[in-house]
Structure 1
Amino acid sequence: MSLGSEEKSLNITLTISFLLHVLFLLLLVYLPPAEQKKETEPIMVDLEDLPQLKEQLPRGDEKAKRQAETRQRVPVESAPRGDQLRNRITPPPVAPRQPQAVPSPRIAEPSRQKPAKSEMPGDSLFRAKKEDLPDLAKLLPSANRLERLEENYRRKYEDEVKENDTKFLNTDDILFGSFLRRFETAVYNVWRYPPDAARLGIEGVVPVRITFNRKGEIQKAVVLESSGSIILDDEVRRALRQIGPIGALPKGYGKDEFHLIAFFHYGIVSGSSRGRLY
């Protein structure tokens, strides 16, 4: 009996396995169409955008239909429509009021002309200021005036410069340019405008003849002409005494001494005292 039951169980298991295999094969056979259905599903997702257009297009129709439905269902609405027509008839009197406001900008046009008249006195004020400027310029020394002073003093002492060992202060000179630049910087480091002279408004020019040796030391300084103020003359002498050696004379210069004529100009410009060496 046990053997018979075992055979039955084997037969049952075999049949079940056979059926399962058959089902598995059938699934494999029918899987491609299932995948095609899945592939078609994303296509349907793309088509979902189109209904939006379809919805937009029939909205106008739906509105038209709704309007038709409202007219049919609610005949009472005809009364307020009559009111709307009356309200539409009332605006026409408003339209003629608007052209009445048109002349208002014409009234504003003369107002634009009024500021043009107000600009005229403004121009007169500026013209008055311009007329005052030349008077102030006459009180202040100009660059042309300084150049004329320099030219006048150079002409006055040009006979002494004709000598080979005497020159004016010219920092652009080919032979003595660097030497004279060193002298100029040394002067500005020690030369001052006397406070008493600046307070009293004293101005003037001090021409000086300076003698250098080969080492670049000042051996002698002679004031050729007084500025008219002892304070200014003494300040020039004091500054020259404080200047030490400024470097040897150029090698191309064969003499043992070199003479320089320099002008120490004291001036007051717009209330500030200034000294200029030339």
Structure 2
Amino acid sequence: MNERYIEKSFLVLLACSLLLHLGVFLLLLSLPVEKKSELSEPLMVDLQDLPELKAKKPAPGPPVRHQAEERRRVPRETAPRGMAERDRVIAPAQPTVPAYRPPTREQLMPQRPTERGEAPAEPSPKEELFRPKARRGGEQQPKLVPSATAMARLEEEYRRQYAPDVAEGATRFLNTDDILFGSFLRRFETAVYGVWRYPSEAAKLGIEGVTPVRITFNRNGEIIQKEILQSSGSRILDEEVLRTLGQIGPVGRFPRGYDKDSFNLIAFFRYGIVRGGTRSLH
């Protein structure tokens, strides 16, 4: 009896518990559910400065005409002449212009050459090169700046004089653009300028000149003979040329296309007084 009562009581309590839980569940379902806001992705915004508004320029109006721009003739004011001595102004003396005189007949006539009617002989380039120049006051001094044209003409005369030797083929003028000997002659030219000097004594005296020289090389590029063909007119300049050639060492072997044992070169050592003294090899 007691067990059945307990069993019934348990079933009643279980049913009440189920109803209670069911009621709570239904109550929870009836309550409003809060919707969670979905997070959206961030938007990238590009900020730009607003363009500056340009103020409109006012339209140009008609030019304003000033009263000062008008041409007006103002009457000239003159002060009355004073009677006192200090008020009197002495007019400046006007410079006298010499009257024009036509040239006389003697001035218009050309100068006569000489009494015999012969024109004076034109000096040769070599004489013109070493002709002394008179100082102011009667003193004599050497010609410091002779004509460069005279030296060029003298060199051309030498080239015409020795052109037959070059035409034979065993002798050449100094030409660094030569197809066969160009490289050899450039080495020789570089060696010459390395030791060649303008004698200070000659530079002070204003001595200039051109010294043509025949130079003989062996197959090793050594100078075996040097001969001054014409003197420059100055012993100092000629000796400097020989000293320079004596100090030059071998300049290299001959080109492969040249099969002779020696090579002759005619070079022109030119001295000129420009900015203290210049040298040029041709």
State the TM-score, normalizing by the size of structure 1.
Answer: 0.53
Alignment of 1:3-82 (within 5 A): 11-12=19-20, 14-24=22-32, 27=33
Q: 1:106: Cα distance to partner?
A: 8.4
Following superposition, the deviation at residue 273 of structure 1 comes to 1.9
Over 6 Å off, 4+ runs? 2-10, 139-142
CA contact (8 A) 2:151 2:209 kept: no
Q: Percent identity?
A: 55
Q: State the Cα distance separating 1:247 from its structure 2 match.
A: 2.0
Unaligned runs of 5+ in 1: 40-97, 108-138
What is the RMSD of the two structures over their aligned residues, measured on CA atoms?
A: 3.8
Structure 1 counterpart of 2:165, which letter? E
What's the TM-score, normalizing by structure 2?
0.52
Question: Are 1:101 and 2:46 an aligned pair?
Answer: no
| 1:249 and 2:214 aligned | no
Q: CA deviation at 1:251?
A: 3.7
1:276 partnered with 2:280? yes
Q: What secondary structure sits across from 1:252 in the alignment?
A: coil
Q: What is residue 202 of structure 1 aligned with on the other side?
A: 207
Corresponding position: 1:233 with 2:238: yes
Q: Judging changes above 3 Å, is the alpha-carbon distance between structure 1 residues 145 and 9 closer, same or farther for their aligned structure 2 residues? A: farther
State the shift of 1:105 in Å. 9.4
Match of 2:219 in 1: 214
User: Partner of 1:228: helix, strand, or coil?
Assistant: coil
Question: CA deviation digits over 1:217-241, x for unaligned, max 9?
Answer: 1111111111122111111100000
| CA deviation after TM superposition for structure 1 residue 10, in Å | 6.6
State the shift of 1:7 in Å: 7.5
Distance 1:149 1:8, change over 3 A: farther
Task: Kindly tell me the number of residue pairs found equivalent between the two proteins.
Answer: 179
1:223–1:101 CA distance, 2 compared to 1 (3 A)? same
- What do residues 148-191 of structure 1 show as CA deviations (whole Å, max 9, x unaligned)? 55433311321332332111111222222222222111111111
Output the CA distance in 2 between the equivalents of 1:219 and 1:152: 27
SS in 1 for 2:31: helix
Q: Which moved more, 1:259-268 or 1:246-255?
A: 246-255
Q: Which amino acid aligns with 1:257?
A: S
Q: How far off its partner does 1:15 sit?
A: 2.5
Task: Specify every segment of 5 or more residues in structure 2 that has no aligned partner in the other structure, as ranges.
Answer: 1-8, 41-62, 73-144
Whichever residue aligns with residue 197 of structure 1, its letter is A
CA distance in 1, matches of 2:16, 2:200: 139
The equivalent of 1:193 in structure 2 is: 198
Give the aligned partner of residue 156 of structure 2.
151
